[in-house]
Chains A and B, each alone.
Chain A
Amino acid sequence: MLSYLIRRVFQGFIVLVLVVLFTFLLEHLVPGGPAVVALGHRATPSAIKQFNHDNGLDRPIIIQFWTYLVQILSLNLGYSMVKSASVWYLIKSALAHTSMLVAVSIVFQFIVAIPLGAVQARRRNTRFDYFATGITFVLYAIPVFLIGEFLITFFAIQLQWLPGHVASTDGSFSIFTHPLAYVLPILTLSLVGIGGLSRFERSSVVDTYAQDYIRTARAKGLSERLVLRRHALRNSILPIITIIGLSLPALVGGALITESLFGIPGMGELTLTGANSQDMPLVVGTTIVATIMTIVGSLVADLLYAVADPRIRIESR
């Protein structure tokens, strides 16, 4: 278990270094290089030269990358001109919002999609099954922002039940102080995932039902409910954990759009502020931190998988 953990952490670290390399190369690929990125397209040649000298950009590229990497790994992500603050400081306060949004959404998806898929599998090819399949398929095809837009129009503007846009300037704002403001964002982020997950859970339970041990369980006289709960459901949940781990990049991306829709002051909102004002350090910083988030998240998913499945634990011991 421990060696597995170490290997996975090492792999995650490699991913991180390569992503840093990628953003580094991108900045150098822009005509004019990082100086133009930082100073703008109208910078004079002498200003560019001065900038390059000040920031060590006239040194060999390998050394440049090494300094860049060390800087980023020590969380020195640069300074945001637009927000007049260090990028890491900005991200630190935004990170809690995004991770909370994603975490609660995952739990919510789990709670809804697994029972739904299981019941669909048990009553497969009934009218209920077809109905649920239809709905999940539509949900799966609708982009996050349309779902969000629909929820806002319906629940926030028409019915006025829930707030559609939160007061993002409030410093004390969080899911604990304003739980109602989080209802629609979480729904928005979860509905797409529920579509995919419940479809997967359904086919997973159908597969499990065909296994020999289910026949054994039935043969020894267990009730259908117990067969489902003790045997079919537990085994079908395993692949779901993997799927959630894999869908993390999409979830974090969806969180970006959700945040911009509802004005939640998270990483997505920060990225978009950066993008709209050409604030490169901010955008690169959030990209790197978002990557770290997904790496850590999929690591956690793998560990949970090992906890949930005794076979993995024994194998890797």
Chain B
Amino acid sequence: MSTTDLEVTEAVSAPSAGESGSVGGVYALVWRTFKENRLAVVSLGVFIFFLLFCFAGPYIYRTNQTNGYLAQQVYIHGVSAVNYPWFKSWSLPLGGDYSGYNIIGRLMVGGRTALSVGLLAGLISTIVGSTWGAIAGFRGRFTDSAMMRFVDIGLSVPGIFLLIVIVVLFGSSSTTITLTLGLTSWFGSARLIRGQTLGLKSREFVSAVRVLGGSNSRIIFRHILPNTIGTMVVIATFAVADSILALAGLGFIGLGIPQPNTDWGSMLQNATIYAPDGYWWDLVPAAICIIFVVMSLNYMGDALRDGFEVRLQKR
């Protein structure tokens, strides 16, 4: 094995059920450490805010996101003044974009894609990676080395190129992008879970299941994987952040979700195209959304990692 897993395996350690009381106790302890981290709590708040903003927001603040308002009669510095922020008594609080969409409404639509693609892709990535790693670690020997070689391969291909190939071949719908992001980003998590499985499979409770006649798949799915839940939660948090970033990158190079739908990356790309024409207010909002969501996820991931680590220390 290469030296790569040293970075995170030591940081994330599995809670081992059956040793420190009920499962509820474990999560209570993790939550207590999480709560002590003020940054993480703020991040949780920020993340929940964005979820509400994007998914519940459109029902409260209704905007027309199918037809842009293009009645451009008044011009300020060559830009249609209707789209200017604060023009006409706050009807467009953040302004409108180049095709007359209300930017706040646009952020909601874009965020809905960004968050749902990110969450789903992160989920797929975590599930595939964990299962792959647990099976590889549990089977050992030839299966293990074959499966882990495959992981090495996955880790050495620049993901964005594959993403572009697939988008060009199959078109950029949110389904395609979600599946591709999820199925090309699980390699790192497979390594982590494999490392933990190696430690877990020699434990007494695994032998106990085997003695009781439990099958291999039962051991893997009912006993080993639930014991790596701490690592999986942390992995999932970072995977969601990475997927949101990747989607934003894809949108920024012009291969994001096509009109009339959008995502934050595509919004940013459009903004950079029209900013030289005077649409300066269009640049900031999407950028802020991306940074805030990604940073909040990163901080939460860090706090969760600490939480599960502390759990181990107090045992």
Contacts and interface: CB of A to CB of B under 8 A. Distances in A.
B82 to A, nearest CB: 25
A286 interface: yes
Given A249-B155, A294-B156, A145 B4 contact: no
Given A239-B3, A260-B253, A143 B156 contact: no
A143 B161 contact: no
Given A138-B295, A239-B3, A252 B158 contact: yes
B304 interface: no
A291 B158 contact: yes
B164 A283 contact: yes
Interface string B156-168: 1111111011111
A280 B255 CA distance: 15
Contacts of A142: 291
Nearest to B157: A291
B156 A145 contact: no
Interface string A8-42: 00010011001100110011011000000100000
A283 B170 CA distance: 13
Contacts of B153: 14-15, 18-19
B16 interface: no
Contacts of A287: 158, 161-162, 164-165
Interface stretch (A70-78, A112-120, A269-277): A269-277
Interface size of A as a range: 35 or more
A313 to B, nearest CB: 15
B84 interface: no
Interface of B: 2-4, 6-7, 149, 152-153, 155-162, 164-170, 241, 245, 248-249, 252-255, 265, 268, 272, 283, 287, 290-291, 294-295, 298
A190 interface: no
A248 to B, nearest CB: 8
B24 to A, nearest CB: 32
The 10 lowest CB-CB distance pairs between A and B, nearest first, are: A253-B160, A287-B161, A249-B158, A141-B295, A252-B158, A145-B252, A253-B158, A15-B153, A141-B294, A275-B168
Nearest to B188: A246
Given A256-B158, A272-B254, A275-B164, 14 more contacts: A14-B153, A29-B169, A137-B295, A141-B294, A141-B295, A145-B252, A246-B4, A253-B158, A253-B159, A256-B160, A280-B168, A284-B165, A286-B161, A287-B164
